[in-house]
Structure 1
């Protein structure tokens, strides 16, 4: 694991950031990969088989990022809606490419059973800069609420609004990485003027259920499917995963709506957030993508069987 910095290099410990600190943080961010060549090009390849739409346009200075969604071509209002989101945290690579892999390799299996709506890269600036936040140092995955300060979150909420009450299942694809501990949590503590308390990163896959509407059997069905692809994270010595009690093997719970998390964006009875661990010596990038796709398939299958 990377060494945790003793003090974050921006701001004054104990003092929340202002505009100057946010500007300094932004000046340190560099584009490290291409949304256009790695994501948009793959979405374009899916256009012959699916409806592809632009549901928003992010503008950060001179940089513009079209926000793209993929829909079932033969949308049928008599069928339930399934929502798949990825890249809410742009640096979490398998969330983006796992969603695209699901569409490419598995979506046809559900063509006459569900209406699929997939937003594979909710935060393209974050994808290019390998960042958890957007360019304004705002975490999109804490910003899914009315009058959201994050363009990315607001755009997705507008996309989903017409079907919000018809979504049967929403799965939000994420990763937990070593850089969460070495960079992103220290940055969060510095931004908010709080002390940073070091923690640990679970080695393996786990899920986040909704503490306000838990679905333990649904979560365990997804865990069982993913275990065929990659290993499940064990709880630590205190029975926790990422600082939260493991309520079942490979499962923790958060109050999704209270925290403004993406998985709260609909009223779906079945919701989950995946967390893949790409830095494990026991997992390859291909396994991580396949684990995300397997989680989506298992989640849809369960939801359809229990609707």
Structure 2
């Protein structure tokens, strides 16, 4: 039987007010440095890419500049590939997998595509290893007009300013044990709901768009990633995180109606990757490699479709 849990902040059944949100923020701590771990890797790419600072978070504009990396010789006749990482800053391989792809793989696709990579959309979340921003807002449910998330708002403005058709969007994420142990309980407490435990899938999977699922595209990603890490099986009900499995390692969400990052464009080919870093069968390096393999599988498939 699935158990119910009460979160240590707030009153069960009552949504948080300003006092509870302040209590939550007060118990967060800086655990790693965006300026030391991420920004130097971004700056190291400037010999081969154009670097765009598309904003900074008001929590500390000096500590949290927002960067995108763009392939040079932008050609409006080529389709655009958008890669986003760190929308949930705590999902480490999303950030470092995006940077690894830029460093090791992007050049081979630059003849066919304009590529723009936003490797760490939520640098405050990266530092405190959390899903939310300081205002208890989840950026990956906040991609809509007048967003309450600075992270989402800055990214949308950057993307809207890009020239050319965005054909592909790959949003790099992780599903972690802490989703079940911390982040989902906190969310339900914030919203005055009861948290009932579910489970964390052991392995990699993708999330496609219910309105535009592109099953062969998703399959190409799964086939590429399985060379690096294992693919998540369905649970006893045939689901992954509560959604029906459409094919091996693939579920679909209504991306736009949920205000998810992968729904911010009208791209033909979109996917959200989900690496499982807490498995005893993988290393951090394999998690980064899985993100790179996902991007490679996606772009190899699209190149074949373009002929």
Q: So what's the TM-score if we normalise by structure 2?
A: 0.97
- Counterpart of 1:59 in 2: which secondary structure? coil
Map Cα deviations across residues 135-191 of structure 1 (whole Å, 9 max, x no partner).
110000000011111000000000000338710100000000000000000000000
Whether 1:303 aligns to 2:285 is no
Gaps of 5+ in 1: none
Whether 1:190 aligns to 2:189 is yes
1:8 is displaced (CA, Å) by: 0.6
Q: Find the aligned partners of 1:281 and 1:203 in 2 and give their Cα distance.
A: 10
Runs of at least 4 residues off by over 3 Å: 61-64
Map Cα deviations across residues 228-251 of structure 1 (whole Å, 9 max, x no partner).
000000001110101111011000
Map Cα deviations across residues 201-245 of structure 1 (whole Å, 9 max, x no partner).
000000000001110000000000000000000001110101111
1:7 is displaced (CA, Å) by: 1.6
1:5 is displaced (CA, Å) by: 8.5
Whether 1:289 aligns to 2:285 is no
In the alignment, which residue of structure 1 is the partner of 2:210?
A: 211
Q: Find the aligned partners of 1:267 and 1:226 in 2 and give their Cα distance.
A: 25
In the alignment, which residue of structure 2 is the partner of 1:173?
A: 172
Matches within 5 A, 1:102-141: 102-141=101-140
Q: Is the 8 A contact 1:142 1:261 kept in 2?
A: yes
Number of residue pairs matched?
304
Whether 1:232 aligns to 2:231 is yes
- Counterpart of 1:257 in 2: which secondary structure? coil
Distance 1:61 1:119, change over 3 A: closer
Gaps of 5+ in 2: none
Q: Find the aligned partners of 2:218 and 2:203 in 1 and give their Cα distance.
A: 15
Q: Is the 8 A contact 1:165 1:268 kept in 2?
A: no
In the alignment, which residue of structure 2 is the partner of 1:84?
A: 83
Q: So what's the TM-score if we normalise by structure 1?
A: 0.97
Distance 1:37 1:61, change over 3 A: closer
Q: Find the aligned partners of 1:108 and 1:124 in 2 and give their Cα distance.
A: 26
After TM superposition, the structure 1 stretch with the greater mean CA deviation from structure 2, 59-68 or 240-249, is 59-68
Matches within 5 A, 1:91-102: 91-102=90-101
1:74 is displaced (CA, Å) by: 1.4
Q: Is the 8 A contact 2:4 2:196 kept in 1?
A: no
Q: Find the aligned partners of 1:233 and 1:63 in 2 and give their Cα distance.
A: 40
- Counterpart of 2:82 in 1: which secondary structure? strand
1:59 is displaced (CA, Å) by: 1.6
Q: Is the 8 A contact 1:239 1:245 kept in 2?
A: yes
